[in-house]
Amino acid sequence: MTDLMGKVAIVTGGSRGIGRGIAERLGRDGAYVVVNYSGSEQDANEVVDAICDAGGKSVSIQADLSKVADIHTLFAKTLDYFGKLDILVNNAGIGGEINAIEKVTVEDYERVFNLNVRGVLFSLQEAAKHMANNGRIVNISSTTTLHPSARMSVYAASKAAVKLFTQVMAQEVGDRDITVNTVTPGPVVPGMFGRFSPEHQQQAAASSPFNRVGTPQDIADIVAFLVSEEARWISGQEICANGGAKI
């Protein structure tokens, strides 16, 4: 376990899947965890209860990160609760319709980019304003940016923007000893990949030499390292976490 005792962490989209795994891991490591959620209040409160039952400290805060006003509210409430911010994990995201480019609609583009791109950008902006020196930022991307496939253009493009934000932000806040990195998961279940058919999931598992898809804990353990003091010399990097898979 890493030592995050007394650190304050926001995990966006922290109520389910990868976000839940990250929130619970950071809580076990001693961080005070803000579990952000958009619509799943019950799930968020279950994560808070799990962290608190294990001896940690956590609160849930509702905010739709596709809305800049809600982003401001999330950070303001975090500072009201805990007085500071040390860690931000930009995990909240949404998948788009799986369509060829010729069939992409304006509505689907806006729905995906409003959360996956605008939400991350303006969360980073708030972190730049409010994060303590020696802070840690981790942005969650996707291996769809590494292995382009048909009908994934909108989602993959939104996650590619997240990687670029990481590289730029790392240059902008490094003089405050704040690190910024990207974790790029492959297929993870439970998580967004769970909406695919069992056959598709089996194919993804077979593409890894471990013969399985990832779990939220696999990703959470990597994030826990990146937000630790031991990772102070890693910034502007992308960590591919896909179990050696080729898709």
pLDDT tens, 17-46?
Answer: 999 999 999 999 999 999 999 999 999 999
pLDDT tens, 205-242?
Answer: 788 999 998 999 999 999 999 999 999 999 999 999 99
pLDDT of amino acid 247: 60
Quick check: is 32 catalytic?
Answer: no
Contacts of 63 by beta carbon, 8 Å cutoff, 6+ apart: 36, 37, 38, 70, 71, 73, 74
User: In the predicted model, what is the mean pLDDT of residues 123-139?
Assistant: 98
The CATH architecture annotation of domain 8-241 reads 3-Layer(aba) Sandwich (3.40)
pLDDT of amino acid 33: 98
Contacts of 28 by beta carbon, 8 Å cutoff, 6+ apart: 1, 51, 54, 56
User: In the predicted model, what is the mean pLDDT of residues 147-162?
Assistant: 93
Single-letter code of the amino acid located at 135: G
What are the distances in angstroms from CA 156 to CA 11, 16, 45, 239? 22, 21, 30, 17
Give the end-to-end CA distance of the chain in Å, rounded to a whole number: 30
Domain ranges across the chain: 8-241
Q: How far apart are CA 236 and CA 231, in angstroms?
A: 12
| Percent of the chain whose pLDDT exceeds 70 | 96
Closest CA to 33 of 14, 54, 53: 14
Of 32, 37, 81, 155, the active-site residue reads: 155
Residue 234 CB neighbour total at 10 angstroms: 15
